[in-house]
Amino acid sequence: MRNLALFTVLVVFVSGPIPVKGQSLQNDEPEIGSSNLGIPKEPGWNHTSYRGWESLSVPGLIATYYDLDRDGKLDYMVIRKVIWKASAEETTIEKAIEIARFDNLSVYFSHPVVFFTNRNPLFYCKGIDSRRNCKDMWVDIAEDGLNGNEELYSLATPRMGIR
């Protein structure tokens, strides 16, 4: 039970400001915007659509999941690159938050590993099936947030100049 409390605290830091105790997120919840390419902006941990995160089977990637239409099914995911990892036994929550703030990173705490990732996602995925495969996926090579330089991503379409 203690580990669950630790996890919750760090997810709060990763995705946005901590709400005031007793604040209702459902009544005053802002609309989820989208980029000019139709990519939803990441709502963050305190939005009612947040459903958790996991370290993916592809080493070095962490996915954060959302149910944007709140129908009980995941429909949006962002994927971040892991920059480095630390031992949860040797890194306190306070120290992890301090490091993440200083280096402008996001932090994900799970026992026995603390993951530090880029602040902005590498991939944005809209339309997730039951196996967590994406219908529409965009890549942001610069990892600089939603600003229009994201490209539709497909493994089936070869790109010129990429080997």
| pLDDT at residue 20 greater than cutoff 60 | no
Q: Which pair of structure tokens corresponds to residue 24?
A: 């209702």
| 65, 74 contact by CB (below 8 A) | yes
Domains of the chain: total:
1
| pLDDT at residue 13 greater than cutoff 60 | no
Is-above-0.95 flag for pTM? no
pLDDT score recorded for residue 37: 82
Which residue in the block uniquely carries the two structure tokens 């010129």?
160
126 occurs within a structural domain: yes
pLDDT score recorded for residue 31: 64
| pLDDT at residue 28 greater than cutoff 60 | no
91 in the Ramachandran plot: left (φ > 0), alpha (ψ -120 to 50) or beta?
beta
160 occurs within a structural domain: no
86 occurs within a structural domain: yes
Per-residue pLDDT band at 157 (split at 50, 70, 90): low
41 occurs within a structural domain: yes
157 occurs within a structural domain: no
17 occurs within a structural domain: yes
Beta strand 76-87 with 151-152: parallel, antiparallel or unpaired? Answer: unpaired
11 occurs within a structural domain: yes
For range 5-20, the mean pLDDT: 37
pLDDT digits (tens, 9 = 90+) for 111-147: 899 999 999 999 999 999 989 888 999 999 999 999 9
162 occurs within a structural domain: no
Domain holding 83, by residue range, is 2-21+36-152
pLDDT score recorded for residue 142: 96
Reduced to 3 states (helix: H, G, I; strand: E, B; else coil), residue 68 is coil
| 53, 62 contact by CB (below 8 A) | yes
pLDDT score recorded for residue 29: 56
CB atoms within 10 A of CB 42: 22
